[in-house]
Chain A
Amino acid sequence: MAEPILSIEGVSFRYPNQSDYAVQNVSFTAERGEWLAIVGHNGSGKSTIARMLIGLLRPERGAIRLFGRLLNDATVWEVRRRVGLVFQNPDNQFVGATVEDDIAFALENNGIPRLEMVERIREAIRQVHMEPFLHYEPHRLSGGQKQRVAIAGILALRPDMIILDEATSMLDPRGREEVLETVRRLNRQQRITVLSITHDLEEAAKADRLIVMNKGEVMAEGTPEQIFRLGSKLERIGLDLPFAVKMGSRLRERGIPLRIGYFTTEELVEELWTLYSKK
């Protein structure tokens, strides 16, 4: 296996004037092209990790390595060019007066020549399917569209990794699907590593691998299937199990012979309607 694109070793952090650690002795790695989800309840430290990864916060202890290099003052700007962070509130990360201005913002910050900017903006807007909106002002876009513009702003920098920090939590179901679908496509086609930070297990279920955080520490790590087997343990730390998982375990309790494992909604439907004919 190649060297991990991201590795975190024994990282701890606490906010100024607080005695409790927001993040305590956290270690994990991410491979290139992987979709990794960090799940946890509010205050579990997951957003703090996102902020540390692009140098907005400094860990008190431990080391963060990205692309094989230690994150420090000398490398932070390169990291911010190669790693894009999509925040929760669609409005509060939209800097430009129009869609194209906003996509240009990070390019301007990195001193990209204007002619190349025009080319990259066109390429980025196409990748998020927002071409008709190039000259729109933010107040004429939906939340999901604004988040896609935020992603385009990151893509224009040709990133290696995208971090979604609760990026879909303020969107309606359609906006959420639009954004996730866009990211999924980029993850598959361009092998952009995705780190999705969320409290929505439904969303996390689609990741390659899950890290469960609780009170600043890593509680569990594994594939969605392994994680969902924890069942009520997840509910005890404030996470809401996906409907299909809950339904599956209730049905099993009632003695309905479902295959062991976790289900997405589609899989559960598939399992249920084929069940009868198996008998």
Chain B
Amino acid sequence: MTNHLIIGQYVPGHSVIHRLDPRAKLLIVFAYVLIVFLANNAATYALLSLFAFAFAALSRIPFSFIARGLKPILWVVLFTLLLHLFMTKEGDVIYQIGALSVYEGGIKQGVFISLRFLLLVLMTTMLTLTTTPIEVTDGVESLLGPLKKMRVPVHELALMMAISLRFIPTLMEETEKIMKAQAARGVDFSGGRFSERMKAIVSLLVPLFISSFKRADELATAMEARGYRGGEGRTKFRQLAWKPVDTVFLAAVALLFALLCLLRS
């Protein structure tokens, strides 16, 4: 098989950002998402943008890749911009088209909110672009570790996530196979009215579900046969290593936070 299917949108690489500990990346992105809401003037937004673009530049991922990730939300951003442009009535009137008037506050608000939206998506996209899903899983498991004391089944959740990720390509292959098999029996997946197409989808989903349950059952048996008995007494092959550079990046986020607090009006 030759299809190098990439789950999520991970772009392989060896940049500083790629090599950051997934825990550090998760914390950075999470903190960033929170402090974005502190910004309320040009200086703070400039600072946030600077950080995000520096982060993106350090990943050495071609801008076209990142842009592709941002494309789906472009319409939402545009819509927000227009909405704020016409609905906010603050400051001086700048422009007037018939009954619609654009205020100075509207432009400011529209640009800020759209920018906030873009920055949020940019940073979260950076996480998925530079981290494999399995690394994200490891990071989440490690970060949520303390919750084990509160009886949250962290290990089980992480394992569920890892197995789901592992089976995505398998199920996609299976879907393709079933689609071909059904098409050979005369099912038309592309044409026809909406209701007809829905009916065709059912002929795909039912076999897919049945085989997935069968898979799950067999996988559970195989896991048990291989000595799986829950997280207790289990060692881990994948190990995360916190490096000085991870601390540096977290410190940068802390600095960003401090500056935002200082500069916001």
Whether the Cβ atoms of A109 and B226 lie closer than 8 Å is yes
Per-residue interface assignment for chain A, residues 81 to 110, with 1 indicating a CB less than 8 Å from any chain B CB and 0 otherwise: 100110101011111110011001111111
Smallest Cβ distance from B235 to chain A, in angstroms?
Answer: 5
Whether the Cβ atoms of B223 and A107 lie closer than 8 Å is no
Per the bound structure, the CA–CA distance linking A113 and B235 in Å amounts to 6
User: At the interface, yes or no: A218 with Cβ under 8 Å from chain B?
Assistant: no
User: Do most interface residues of chain A lie in helix, strand or loop, or is the interface mixed?
Assistant: helix
How many interface residues does chain A have, given as a range? 35 or more
Per the bound structure, the CA–CA distance linking A100 and B169 in Å amounts to 18
B158-166, B193-201, B246-254: which lies at the interface: B158-166
Q: Which interface residue of A51, A114, A153 has the most chain B CB atoms within 10 A?
A: A114
Whether the Cβ atoms of A105 and B235 lie closer than 8 Å is no
Per-residue interface assignment for chain B, residues 13 to 30, with 1 indicating a CB less than 8 Å from any chain A CB and 0 otherwise: 000000000000000000
By a CB distance below 8 angstroms, the chain A residues around B91 are none
User: At the interface, yes or no: A112 with Cβ under 8 Å from chain B?
Assistant: yes
Which B residues, 158 to 193, have Cβ-Cβ distances below 8 Å to chain A? 162-163, 165-166, 169-170, 173
User: At the interface, yes or no: A59 with Cβ under 8 Å from chain B?
Assistant: no
User: At the interface, yes or no: A149 with Cβ under 8 Å from chain B?
Assistant: no
User: At the interface, yes or no: A174 with Cβ under 8 Å from chain B?
Assistant: no
By a CB distance below 8 angstroms, the chain B residues around A85 are 222, 225
User: At the interface, yes or no: B5 with Cβ under 8 Å from chain A?
Assistant: yes
Smallest Cβ distance from A64 to chain B, in angstroms?
Answer: 15
User: At the interface, yes or no: B1 with Cβ under 8 Å from chain A?
Assistant: yes
User: At the interface, yes or no: B228 with Cβ under 8 Å from chain A?
Assistant: yes
Whether the Cβ atoms of A109 and B215 lie closer than 8 Å is no
Per the bound structure, the CA–CA distance linking A132 and B231 in Å amounts to 30
User: At the interface, yes or no: B227 with Cβ under 8 Å from chain A?
Assistant: yes
| Residue in contact with A111 in the complex, picked from B1, B162, B215, B235, CB distance below 8 Å | B235
User: At the interface, yes or no: A67 with Cβ under 8 Å from chain B?
Assistant: no
Could you tell me which B residues sit within 8 Å of A by CB distance? 1, 4-5, 133-134, 162-163, 165-166, 169-170, 173, 215, 218-219, 221-229, 233-239
List 6 A-B residue pairs with CB atoms under 8 Å apart, sorted by A's residue number: A51-B221, A77-B227, A105-B223, A111-B235, A114-B239, A138-B169
